[in-house]
Amino acid sequence: MAALVDIGVNLTHAAFDADRPQVIERAIAAGVSTLILTGTTVEESQKAITLARQYPDILYSTAGVHPHDVKHCDLQTIPRLRELAAHPPVVAIGECGLDFNRHYSPRPEQEYWFEAQLQLACDLGLPVFLHERDAHVRFLEILKPYRDRLVAGVVHCFTGSEAELKAYLDWDLHIGITGWICDERRGLHLQELVRSIPLDRLMLETDAPYLTPRTLRPKPKGGRNEPAFLPHVLQTVAHSLDQAPEAVAHTTTQTARQFFRLPEYQVPQG
């Protein structure tokens, strides 16, 4: 089976403080050869870069500020992100976008800093790792003037409607699918919608430690998700597509490597 790429892992989260090296080892043993660590604040982006440097060619990172956290942004935020983005592990700007579901940051601040990070991605020629929840219309309004200048963008952890998916695909955006697709309470519609995503636009992610697949057996201790569980997401996606897991693994991995401009995976020797 192709070596999988987990395009969204919150590996700097405190949930991994006790066993982070073992989490990485389990991921590799499970066939998840590459992890993209998500930057959610300037500080967490720095931590992700520091961690990624310890595992070259295995860990990469993004640099950005999540909409929940933009209330803490200041005049130094974009200059600092620009500096962080110059480090080799960084392969995208984000996680950035809009979240009108929880409103941890005021809407005007979310919109301002989303636009600022889109401009940064355009300036640097980097793809964007996008977050959108309950904000589809405004999200597209802000994204529209930047789309032609962005090299690429992925809507991380897509959970939306058929109409929303069509709009993102029409805008040539990539789609990230998480363990949400395994949730019988709220994710069954994704098992149908995933059929509409071209394989050269589909990528897989855990969003660990969040979104543990509900169908995972045995259930992990404490309910924590980790990148070693990505093959379980793959199995559900492959079943939904009526395709062999090996085929979906190969295409989604190739898509992720092209999107983030990663080097070809080299099978370890020995």
Walk me through the domains of the chain, giving residue ranges and CATH numbers. Answer: 4-259 (3.20.20.140)
Spatial CB neighbours of 38, under 8 Å, sequence gap ≥ 6: 8, 9, 10, 44, 48, 61, 62, 94, 95, 129, 207
In this prediction, residue 1 carries a pLDDT of 73
Which residues of the chain have a pLDDT value below 70? 265-270
CA-derived radius of gyration, the chain = 17
Going from the C-alpha of 256 to that of each of 16, 21, 60, the distances in angstroms are 24, 23, 12
Instruction: Tell me the C-alpha distance between 64 and 195, whole Å.
Output: 30
In this prediction, residue 221 carries a pLDDT of 84
Going from the C-alpha of 150 to that of each of 168, 211, 268, the distances in angstroms are 14, 29, 34
Instruction: Tell me the C-alpha distance between 25 and 197, whole Å.
Output: 31
Closest CA to 64 of 74, 50, 77: 77
In this prediction, residue 266 carries a pLDDT of 56
In this prediction, residue 2 carries a pLDDT of 80
In this prediction, residue 73 carries a pLDDT of 98
pLDDT digits (tens, 9 = 90+) for 82-111: 999 999 999 999 999 999 998 899 999 999
CA atoms within 13 A on the CB side of 94: 27
